[in-house]
Amino acid sequence: MFFLNGSGQRFGFSCSLVLHYCLGFMAEKEQAQRETASLASPRVFYKANFDAAFFENVGVASIGIAVRDSNANSIAALSKRIRMPHSVELAKALACSRAVSFARELSFF
């Protein structure tokens, strides 16, 4: 899915699909491995949750990212101020983009 800006131009994609592919595919792969090899050791996978918040009274927004492992242990977190975006969708897309970059910085993929 693409988002449209005010002039009708496409500017993004569905970040939840990208994040599911980048960070969540290991869970599906792990399940398939368990079904085919009962002695295989369990693999750890990571999940990143992200969101954006608006502070209109000061004209800024913020994004937050939390990364957990397959045992629900907190691995890393990030909070960052950003300029006030034009829409909620853009803010979420920026948060998603930063979540993928953050996962790369943590060497998850």
43-54 residue pLDDT tens: 778 899 999 999
Question: What single-letter amino acid sits at 70?
Answer: S
Confidence (pLDDT) at 59 = 87
Of the candidates 24, 12, 3, the residue with the CA atom closest to the CA atom of residue 97: 12
Measured CA to CA, the distance from residue 12 to residue 89 in angstroms comes to 9
Residues of the chain with pLDDT below 50 are 1-14, 17, 22
pLDDT computed for residue 32 by the predictor: 63
DSSP label of 10: B
* DSSP one-letter code for 24: I
pTM of the model: 0.60
Q: Residue 10: beta bridge partners?
A: 4
